């Protein structure tokens, strides 16, 4: 699909999580699959999800959205394409996976092809804010830990509203602000997490309502995400030698630093996690109410 040029893809590369995305290929090889071997979606589930708690939460999205063979979904910030492939494999739905960074998008596309899912998952490289609006084609917009990179919430939510069909739904998981960040926390968020702005849950809700959404529901995920990120650091440190052997010391240093900073942020208590669901009203039903 068409590629959109954007400078945002350069600045987001400062985040260590995104510096060496090719490491997924090392992981796939270490799991015993040859360089160009055909794969099944489930073979790479452990390596291709950049959000928290893996495919269980993608399953939650399938259930909430009642996604099936007829559904057309868009994923905002699709990374290596893991959630999009899971949605297609499990629900049989079509997914447009929108990813800002060309190298991630390229890897995502190659993995989708190797998994035999190119007929259902279409990869689109570019900024979601520039995604063409041709009249509301999608049944749902989903996103995991990508919106935190997009400070212009007004433009983003307007875009979501316009690309959804009437009665279309959103299912997002994202960071939120629980308390006032210290200057040090703000710096980590801005530089290491490429997250220049975070609303509180109440602000999130208001922004969705102001942009026309109804049935806005927010579910606090802070406790389980705090546990997850702490466990991730502990596991990383335990396996650090193997990790460095597989990917090299520089990659290992970068990932350790990134995982520790995220864990610190959660445990200071000002960063939270939230699942957000909402619906674009159906004009016909609205008139009848």
What residue ranges bind ligand SAM (CB under 6 A)?
Answer: 12, 49-51, 77-79, 82-83, 98-101, 104, 127-129, 144-146, 149-150
Residue with tokens 């509301």: 136
Q: Say how far residue 249 (Cα) sits from the centre of its chain.
A: 27
Containing H/E element for 216?
strand 214-220
- For tokens 């629980």, name the residue: 178
In the bound state with ligand SAM, the residue whose beta carbon lies nearer, of 153 and 282, is 153
Residue with smaller CB distance to ligand SAM, 98 or 252: 98
Q: Which of 96, 104, 97 is nearest to 20 (CA)?
A: 104
* Nearest distance in Å: CB 259, ligand SAM: 13
Residue whose CB is less far from ligand SAM, 27 or 282: 27
State the nearest-atom distance from the C-beta of 203 to ligand SAM, in Å. 19
CB 149 → ligand SAM: shortest distance, Å?
4
Q: Strand, coil or helix: what is 172?
A: strand
Record the tokens describing residue 256, joined without a space: 């350790």
Q: Which is nearer to ligand SAM, 49 or 226 (CB)?
A: 49
CB of 144 to ligand SAM, least distance (A): 4
Whichever of 77 and 199 has its CB closer to ligand SAM, that residue is 77
Q: How far is the CB of 289 from ligand SAM (least distance, A)?
A: 35
Across the beta sheet with 164-177, the strand order is 121-125, 94-99, 72-76, 138-144, 164-177, 271-279, 214-220
């Amino acid at each position: 699909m068409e590629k959109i040029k954007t400078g945002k893809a350069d600045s987001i590369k400062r985040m260590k999580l995104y510096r060496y995305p090719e490491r997924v290929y090392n992981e796939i090889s270490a799991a015993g699959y040859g360089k160009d071997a055909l794969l099944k979606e489930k073979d790479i589930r452990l390596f291709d999800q950049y959000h928290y708690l893996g495919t269980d939460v993608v399953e939650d999205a399938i259930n909430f959205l009642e996604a099936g063979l007829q559904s057309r979904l868009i994923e905002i910030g699709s990374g290596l394409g893991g959630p999009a492939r899971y949605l297609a494999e499990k629900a049989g739905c079509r997914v447009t996976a929108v990813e800002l960074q060309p190298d991630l998008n390229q890897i995502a596309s190659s993995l989708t092809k190797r998994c035999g899912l190119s007929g259902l998952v279409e990869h689109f490289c570019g900024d979601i804010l520039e995604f063409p609006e041709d009249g509301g084609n999608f049944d749902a917009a989903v996103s995991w830990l990508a919106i935190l990179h997009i400070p212009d919430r007004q433009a983003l939510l307007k875009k979501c509203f316009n690309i959804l069909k009437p009665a279309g739904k959103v299912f997002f998981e994202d960071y939120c602000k629980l308390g006032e960040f210290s200057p040090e926390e703000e710096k980590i968020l801005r530089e290491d997490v490429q997250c220049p702005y975070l609303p509180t849950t109440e602000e999130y809700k208001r922004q969705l309502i102001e942009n026309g959404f109804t049935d806005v529901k927010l579910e606090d995920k802070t406790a389980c995400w705090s546990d997850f990120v702490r466990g991730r650091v502990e596991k990383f440190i335990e396996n650090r030698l193997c990790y460095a052997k597989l990917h090299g010391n520089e990659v290992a240093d970068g990932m350790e630093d990134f995982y520790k900073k995220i864990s610190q942020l959660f445990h200071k208590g000002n960063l939270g996690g939230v699942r957000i669901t909402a619906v674009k009203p159906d004009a016909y039903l609205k008139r009848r109410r």
